[in-house]
Amino acid sequence: MAMWAGRFAKEIDKNVNDFNSSISFDWVMYKEDITGSMAHAAMLGAQGIISPEDSEKIIEGLKTILSDIETGELMIDPAAEDIHMFIEQELTDRIGDAGKRLHTARSRNDQVALDIRMYLKNRSKELKTELMKLIKVIVKLAERHTGTVMPGYTHLQVAQPITFAHHIMTYAWMLERDISRLDDCYKRMDVMPLGSGALAATTYPIDREMVAEALGFAGVTQNSLDGVSDRDFCAELGFVLSLVMTHLSRLSEEIILWCSSEFKFVELDDAFATGSSIMPQKKNPDVAELIRGKTGRVNGNLVTLLTMLKGIPLAYNKDMQEDKQAIFDSIDTVMLVLSAFTPMLDTMTIRKDNMRAAAAKGFINATDCADYLTKRGVPFRDAYKITGQLVRFCVENNLTLETLPLEEYRKLSDVFENDLYDAIDIEACVEQRNVLGGPSSEAVKKQIETFKQKVDI
């Protein structure tokens, strides 16, 4: 019999009940629901809205429900409408009339708003811990490779030489910004909506601050309609999760490229790669590919959240039940991804020699050759043109700028001297880029220090 049976002459249609029910996915909030109800019951008792005995009974009853769910003694009923109804019904079955008083001065609308905020706050903390682990692995890799020269690319064409440390630190900065976005979003989740009631608050003399304090919220929502209507924090967290995935997907794409026999810049540990069912030679970067693929579903969840919100009038509408699967799936996906990605990166072998050999190709030092002339008075555009001619000569004659004889250089400009070869040495090209934010080993070491201070590791 449904809780609202008084108003209805018939039982709900079985299919409608299943359709309407959210318990298959909102059961994960059982702990937050119970903790929230305990704080509410304590407040009702303290304010004299229910008797201290009933308040006590409710809290004790809820405690036993929580431990019974946790030990597996109490199974969550898949036929219940949602986790809120299930727990309230279970409480009433256990303690009788006192249980029926729990919902005084409360609606499921503010209850669910509370539960999601509490649940997502907890999950955000877990996520931050996992992101920090990944950041530490990246920094460790960078620290080992401040002298590992590799080609830097634009348009995936060899551009200028950098180091692997410089390259990989880029992802540390991206993730650091993601954490700061997560912290920011957390602040907006950390506002307690209970007391908003169904939409127009309540006539009972509730103490909302007391509930907020008991549940560890930094503040209380200031408008009852907003308190039950707001799912901005779901969309915002959904975006942060999408951006995390976008960053991981970009790095995954690079790892996939680097694993190819054309690059061979890295090799995955056997435990983090997969084979082929037919081609015996294969070692596939499935983890990285799956991360790239799962980014689509996390982006899809964000669109689900924004679309769910865009057309609904104030205050609660059942559409809002769709918030949970979307945001829960995004957070579950990112957590799952990190559990595979972080150890994969940690165990990946960097093929320094292949990186260095690739950096010797593609006239990567052409800018430095032009800069050599410019530093000796030739206007940059002229120097650029002369170097372009030199590169073309090398391409036609199968030479590199390092192997091109000085007399060929001097045919185009008598500014060239023997020290040209020092200026276009690949290691020198990296080390000369010794400005703040640059790739030289000294600059990157400073960068890593600044980073570590910023994220406090």
User: Which residues are known to be catalytic?
Assistant: 155, 276
Tokens of 108: 């499921």
Nearest CA among 413, 423, 433, 408 for reference residue 368: 423
Instruction: Decide if residue 304 touches ligand ARG (CB under 6 A).
Output: no
Helix axes 441-455, 108-144, angle to 10 degrees: 150
* Minimum gap (Å) between residue 456 Cβ and ligand ARG: 37
Tokens 């969309």, located at residue? 235
Instruction: Decide if residue 55 touches ligand ARG (CB under 6 A).
Output: no
* Minimum gap (Å) between residue 179 Cβ and ligand ARG: 29
Closer residue to ligand ARG in complex, CB, 209/322: 322
* Minimum gap (Å) between residue 325 Cβ and ligand ARG: 10
Alpha-helix runs per DSSP H in 96-231: 97-100, 108-144, 164-189, 208-214, 224-229
Closer residue to ligand ARG in complex, CB, 255/320: 320
How far apart (Å, rounded) are the C-alpha atoms in residues 227 and 220?
9
Instruction: Decide if residue 231 touches ligand ARG (CB under 6 A).
Output: no
Instruction: Decide if residue 333 touches ligand ARG (CB under 6 A).
Output: no
How far apart (Å, rounded) are the C-alpha atoms in residues 44 and 269?
57
Please pick, from the candidates 112, 191, 291, 302, the single residue that binds ligand ARG as defined by CB under 6 A.
112
Closer residue to ligand ARG in complex, CB, 267/322: 322
> Quick one: 170 exposed, middle or buried, by C-beta within 10 A (0-12, 13-18, 19+)?
middle
Closer residue to ligand ARG in complex, CB, 292/324: 324
What is the four-CA torsion angle of 31, 33, 39, 41, rounded to 10 degrees? -120
Distance of CA 300 to the CA centre of its chain: 15
Please pick, from the candidates 37, 92, 109, 221, the single residue that binds ligand ARG as defined by CB under 6 A.
109
Closer residue to ligand ARG in complex, CB, 26/178: 26
Please pick, from the candidates 30, 316, 341, 372, the single residue that binds ligand ARG as defined by CB under 6 A.
316
> Quick one: 181 exposed, middle or buried, by C-beta within 10 A (0-12, 13-18, 19+)?
middle
How far apart (Å, rounded) are the C-alpha atoms in residues 449 and 446?
5
- The answer for residues whose C-beta is within 8 angstroms of residue 303's C-beta and 6 or more apart is none
Contact segment (CB under 6 A) with ligand ARG among 171-179, 206-214, 315-323, 338-346 equals: 315-323
Instruction: Decide if residue 64 touches ligand ARG (CB under 6 A).
Output: no
Contact segment (CB under 6 A) with ligand ARG among 163-171, 314-322, 369-377, 401-409 equals: 314-322
Are 273 and 283 in contact, with CB atoms under 8 Å apart?
yes
Instruction: Decide if residue 82 touches ligand ARG (CB under 6 A).
Output: yes
Instruction: Decide if residue 32 touches ligand ARG (CB under 6 A).
Output: no
* Minimum gap (Å) between residue 232 Cβ and ligand ARG: 16
Please pick, from the candidates 66, 80, 139, 320, the single residue that binds ligand ARG as defined by CB under 6 A.
320
Distances (CA, A) of 406 to 380, 401, 411: 20, 10, 9
Binding site for ligand ARG (CB under 6 A): 22, 26, 82, 108-109, 112, 316, 318, 320-321
